[in-house]
Structure 1
Amino acid sequence: MPLKVVVVDDSAFFRRRIVEILNADIGIEVVGTAGDGREAIEVVKRLKPDVVTMDIEMPVMDGITAVRRIMAESPRPILMFSTLTTDGATATLDALDAGAMDFLPKRFSEMAKDEDSAKMLLRRRVRALARGRGGAPAAARAPARAETRHLPASPASAAPAQSPTPAPPPRSSGIRSESLRSLRALLIGTSTGGPVALQEVLKALPSQFPLPIVVVQHMPASFTPAFAERLNNLCQIEVREAANGDALKPGVALLAPGGMQLVLEGGSQPRVRIVDSPPGTIYKPSVDITFTSAVAALRSQVLAVVLTGMGADGREGARALKEQGARIWAQDAASSVVFGMPAAVIEAGLADQVLALRDVGPALVKSLC
């Protein structure tokens, strides 16, 4: 049965274009459209689609208000279309705070290298969101009782599981107590669903958090300054966009700039370098590139956390870190918007702990503070 989608945009031309792209996939059917936020609320309530695509700037009712109402009355995954400007970044982050799960640039030339790739990306995003847990916020999707899974140690070279649905790992209630006080850095990688997940994790950390933090979030270059500023205003720790040569400092989180790569350099005072992407690199920034650079810079003295996201970025970097004896944590399926990135790490046998999102921050405080 095809996935049902509702397309919301005040431009009739853009609506037709998105409808044509999505309907070209036999696994997707656009069942309705709307030209403003108020109409969208009624159409979504009536048609109950699996995914909604939503513009931000519309007459009668804007997209952010519509997202907030839909998530309150008929929650389901919402994909925003955004302009890659400073104002667009702020509005998109507001939409994510309101409950939207993902976003894409409205201009196809900013979405991918060519139009065919952009069309494929849009369809993949819609399918990935539909495969998620539904439209409820992460906190609501998490089990009523916090559940932490602990995985037995396994060789770093273990091959990824062949089955797409691996057997669930052993479960135990609560957060496992372990001392991580010998570490030199906390690394976090995430993608789809990451902005909201990062807010929840980083807001839990005290201002005197003892480790430097490096965050890699798949995000356009025009978005990362606004996102870093937003996190800084919400958190007790300092959060800012990383600049070339920044030193790693306890209680400071450096966010990898969009469109570039963040690599770590070792020494008595580890620092970051901001560099161009190697040819053919898909993710800019890439979790794998940052994690792998930490192998030479920090060896085993790292905790790497892989949160919600589509794809498998972070798996090979986590594998390289694991070979050095680093600790790896992953977010669980129930609290992930898209379980791709953490699932890739778990299925490869690399995760030392698998935690619900709401447990990650408290676990960090318990283990490090």
Structure 2
Amino acid sequence: MIRVLIVDDSAFMRKALSIMLEGDPEVEVVGTARDGLEAIEKVRELKPDIVTLDVEMPRMDGLTALRRIMREHPVPVIMVSSLTQEGAQATIEALEAGAVDFIPKQHSYVSIEISRIRAELLEKIKTIARTRPLLTRRRSAAPDTEALPAFRFREARAIAIGVSTGGPRALQQVIPALPADLPVPVLIVQHMPPHFTRSLAERLNSLSPLTVVEAEEGMPLEPGRVFLAPGGRHLVLERRNGHVPVIRTPVEPATLHRPSVDVMFQSVCQIFGGKVLAVVMTGMGRDGLEGARLIKQHGGKVITQDEATCVVYGMPRAVAEAGLSDAVLPLEQIGPFLARSLGCTPVAQPVSP
């Protein structure tokens, strides 16, 4: 039985979430709290397996409470975030501070949103509960850059990264390690809804030597820039007039995830053939598997994050178990590995979230 503590200042939300979760035989709601101060007390008293934590609350907000919980009584936390720019920025900060994932809600249509997020929330709770032992050992020993695998792929024309649960913290380890003179563009699909991807791009940009942007329709693909897929839209490439690839952000095809790692990988492969260095990092599910397979079939290279440093070892596991990984690396080594693969010197001390 997975024991959950629900924290929200709305009595309706507390009740709705409780009914939603208790309808599943694997989940027990052991308590509720109305604000951050009460949440800290209940975490200490009830010792839940997982906490759902609202961002905006009186007395003590969710972000402040999260930092206290992570410091005093660490437990997996899923943020419940409003679909506003302010809510998105607070959520990115929460993911940096230790939250493992988030669920968006729309205050103006709360009852509708509640029914829509039930399946997603239950899936996340169950997956995170199963992988909870990994949360205490996300970080491996400091990388020995001289001992990185002997691997060169200087003919690569693009780096393509796919990531989901645990992704914002993982990306804040990888992207700041890439130097300003990186000779190729970087494309990222992070499973997130609109607003949240813009805030994540801004945060990564503030930490990185490279310019990081949320991808927009018609942007030219340029070396040394990082393009993050916009929430709710795919990230694909096309050649215009037979020359420089440009970015497109369609809503089709219909896929389980939008943006989709598979869709992005397949598009990059169509433009650059085998000259693609793909990376699959922490996240639940199998998105990226078929795209990685296509990249390998064309002669490209695929890197996966190792189990010990993943929040959820789902996406990289699927790729590794299919025999598609050219290297399996701990999170701290991925950024330096990518830079050295392209003949660059990695940033000596990337910012750690």
- Asked whether the two chains share a fold, i.e. TM above 0.5, the reply is yes
**3-state SS, counterpart of residue 229 of structure 1:** helix
Aligned to 1:247: 220
User: For residues 65 and 135 of structure 2, what CA distance do their matches in structure 1 show?
Assistant: 15
TM-superposed deviation, 1:320: 1.0
User: For residues 109 and 268 of structure 2, what CA distance do their matches in structure 1 show?
Assistant: 30
**3-state SS, counterpart of residue 334 of structure 2:** helix
TM-superposed deviation, 1:295: 2.1
Q: What TM-score results when the alignment is normalised by the length of structure 1?
A: 0.87
User: For residues 302 and 365 of structure 1, what CA distance do their matches in structure 2 show?
Assistant: 14
Q: Is the 8 A contact 1:71 1:136 kept in 2?
A: no
**3-state SS, counterpart of residue 227 of structure 2:** strand
Q: CA RMSD in A?
A: 2.3
- Pair 65,126 (structure 1): closer, same or farther in 2 beyond 3 Å: same
How far does the alpha carbon of each residue in 1:137-158 deviate from its partner, in whole angstroms, 9 at most, with x for none? Answer: 7xx523336599xxxxxxxxxx
How far does the alpha carbon of each residue in 1:157-208 deviate from its partner, in whole angstroms, 9 at most, with x for none? Answer: xxxxxxxxxxxxxxxx942121111110000011111111111100111111
Return 5+ residue gaps in structure 2 as ranges: 345-353
Aligned to 2:245: 270
Return 5+ residue gaps in structure 1 as ranges: 149-172
Aligned to 2:138: 141
User: For residues 107 and 332 of structure 2, what CA distance do their matches in structure 1 show?
Assistant: 35
Aligned to 1:359: 333
- Pair 297,97 (structure 1): closer, same or farther in 2 beyond 3 Å: same
User: For residues 21 and 215 of structure 1, what CA distance do their matches in structure 2 show?
Assistant: 33
> Match for 2:281: what amino acid?
L
Aligned to 1:95: 94
Aligned to 2:350: none
Aligned to 2:170: 197
- Pair 39,332 (structure 1): closer, same or farther in 2 beyond 3 Å: same
TM-superposed deviation, 1:118: 2.6
Aligned to 1:166: none
TM-superposed deviation, 1:322: 1.0
Aligned to 1:311: 285
User: For residues 120 and 108 of structure 1, what CA distance do their matches in structure 2 show?
Assistant: 19
> Match for 2:20: what amino acid?
I
TM-superposed deviation, 1:254: 0.6
TM-superposed deviation, 1:274: 1.6
Q: Choose the corresponding residue for 1:295, options 269, 272, 276.
A: 269
> Match for 1:27: what amino acid?
E
Q: Choose the corresponding residue for 2:230, options 250, 257, 260.
A: 257
How far does the alpha carbon of each residue in 1:24-57 deviate from its partner, in whole angstroms, 9 at most, with x for none? Answer: 1111111121111111112112222111100011
**Aligned pair 1:176/2:175, yes or no?**
no
Aligned to 1:229: 202
TM-superposed deviation, 1:58: 0.9
Equivalent runs, 1:92-171 vs 2, <5 Å:
92-107=91-106, 118-134=117-133, 136=135, 140-144=137-141
Aligned to 2:47: 48
User: For residues 249 and 46 of structure 1, what CA distance do their matches in structure 2 show?
Assistant: 53
**3-state SS, counterpart of residue 39 of structure 1:** helix
How far does the alpha carbon of each residue in 1:263-317 deviate from its partner, in whole angstroms, 9 at most, with x for none? Answer: 12255522221212224x2211111101011222110000000111111111111
After TM superposition, what 4+ stretches of structure 1 lie above 4 angstroms from structure 2? 108-117, 134-137, 145-148
Aligned to 1:20: 19
Q: What TM-score results when the alignment is normalised by the length of structure 2?
A: 0.91
Aligned to 2:349: none
User: For residues 353 and 111 of structure 1, what CA distance do their matches in structure 2 show?
Assistant: 44
User: For residues 220 and 294 of structure 1, what CA distance do their matches in structure 2 show?
Assistant: 22
TM-superposed deviation, 1:236: 0.7
> Match for 2:300: what amino acid?
A
**Aligned positions, number:** 341
How far does the alpha carbon of each residue in 1:223-275 deviate from its partner, in whole angstroms, 9 at most, with x for none? Answer: 22222111111111000011222222221001111111111225552222121
- Pair 77,337 (structure 1): closer, same or farther in 2 beyond 3 Å: same
Larger deviation, residues 270-279 vs 214-223? 270-279
User: For residues 132 and 153 of structure 2, what CA distance do their matches in structure 1 show?
Assistant: 32
Aligned to 2:347: none
> Match for 1:7: what amino acid?
I
TM-superposed deviation, 1:107: 3.5
Q: Percent identity?
A: 50
> Match for 1:276: what amino acid?
V
Q: Is the 8 A contact 1:188 1:306 kept in 2?
A: yes
Q: Is the 8 A contact 2:103 2:117 kept in 1?
A: no
Q: Is the 8 A contact 2:277 2:301 kept in 1?
A: yes
- Pair 111,99 (structure 1): closer, same or farther in 2 beyond 3 Å: farther
- Pair 95,83 (structure 1): closer, same or farther in 2 beyond 3 Å: same
Select the structure that is richer in helix: 2
User: For residues 199 and 108 of structure 2, what CA distance do their matches in structure 1 show?
Assistant: 22
Q: Is the 8 A contact 1:80 1:103 kept in 2?
A: yes
